[in-house]
Structure 1
């Protein structure tokens, strides 16, 4: 059984959704037969990386909201993350374009390490406050999951996996993805957002029942 997931490394609810889906998967007795594929999706492809900019300042301008509203949104995201066992250091987040990270994701997928790099990138961004658009940071993250340094450098210094990134985004548009995270089970059932583990489990069991009945 296959599950395709579109998400962006910059999206806090994508990380939370990943963890909730994993919690559902732990309860699914046929989890060993589930193949998860991560797909690229950029929330803002035109975002300029600005390590020196305060995230609250950036967010208030980008969303047209007050600092108080921004703080409330960040606090809620941090609380939701904590409920799933994640630590979000919102004060340390760097405003960064995620394109290079998505190229790294595609490279890792080609090596069978898609899930590992996705987790590492999320943790680097939301917990460790690393710049996910910085070449050296990405090389370090890649090395941490066992990717070859020279190959990683070649990927980051080229557009070798640009086609795969664009293909994922095109497919997302074709199936009507409006936001992420977006989960598709066996090309049939879609779940949008960081839903409760119980919701994911229900769809997993339904999809499995239908597949094994064929």
Structure 2
């Protein structure tokens, strides 16, 4: 059975959702029969990489909040991250366009390493304070999964991989997906947002039990915290 996940590598709720889903999947009896398929998504395609500002400063500027207000609003998010096993380091986050990192996810999918690539990109962006729009940084990340520097440099210039990223984004739009993370189980049930582990477990059980032909439509089980294309929450 396939689980499709739309995610942006600069979305904190996507990182949290990934962790909670993985905990549910680990405890799922039929987990060896679940195929996880990562899809590219960009919350702000026009965002320009700006290393002069950190995450708080960037959000303060685009949302019109004071820096102190922005930091305060992230306190709950930081705690949710800790509960999921993530130590967010927003002070050092580099404001980076995520398109090139999405190309790496597409490259990794070809070798069955998309999940590992997502994890490394989240870690680089949210914990290590790396610029995920920088080819050198992406090369270092790719090398951890066995890709050569040349492979990474060629990938970020690949029309074919660029098209795959755009195809994922277009598919999300056609399905009405405008916030991430977004999980689709067997093209039948969907979970929007970084839901708790128990809900992922319930939907895994339900969708597996009803495993049948894929459908183009799905029922949203519950909506939760997520980043949307209008920049809300992130």
- TM score, norm. by length of structure 1: 0.96
Q: CA deviation at 1:6?
A: 0.2
Gaps of 5+ in 2: 213-234
Which residue pairs with 1:210 in the alignment? 210
Q: Which has the higher strand share?
A: 2
Q: CA deviation at 1:67?
A: 2.1
Which residue pairs with 2:58 in the alignment? 58
Question: Are the counterparts in 1 of residues 56 and 90 from structure 2 also a CA contact under 8 Å?
Answer: no
Which residue pairs with 2:9 in the alignment? 9
Question: Match of 1:161, SS?
Answer: helix
Distance in 2, Cα, partners of 1:9 & 1:73:
21
Distance in 1, Cα, partners of 2:119 & 2:56:
24
Which has the bigger relative contact order, CA under 8 A and spacing at least 6?
Answer: 1
Which residue pairs with 1:87 in the alignment? 87
Distance 1:90 1:211, change over 3 A: same
Distance in 1, Cα, partners of 2:120 & 2:163:
23
Question: Match of 2:80, SS?
Answer: helix
Q: How does 1:86-165 map to 2 (within 5 A)?
A: 86-165=86-165
Question: Match of 1:52, SS?
Answer: strand
Distance 1:54 1:119, change over 3 A: closer
Equivalent residues, number: 213
Which residue pairs with 1:70 in the alignment? 70
Gaps of 5+ in 1: none
Q: Which has the higher helix share?
A: 1
Distance in 1, Cα, partners of 2:102 & 2:73:
25
Cα deviations by residue, 1:75-107 (Å, 9 ceiling, x for unpaired): 222111111111111100000000000011111
Distance in 1, Cα, partners of 2:168 & 2:187:
14
Q: CA deviation at 1:159?
A: 3.2
Q: CA deviation at 1:32?
A: 0.8
Which residue pairs with 1:29 in the alignment? 29
Distance in 1, Cα, partners of 2:157 & 2:4:
28
Q: CA deviation at 1:69?
A: 2.5
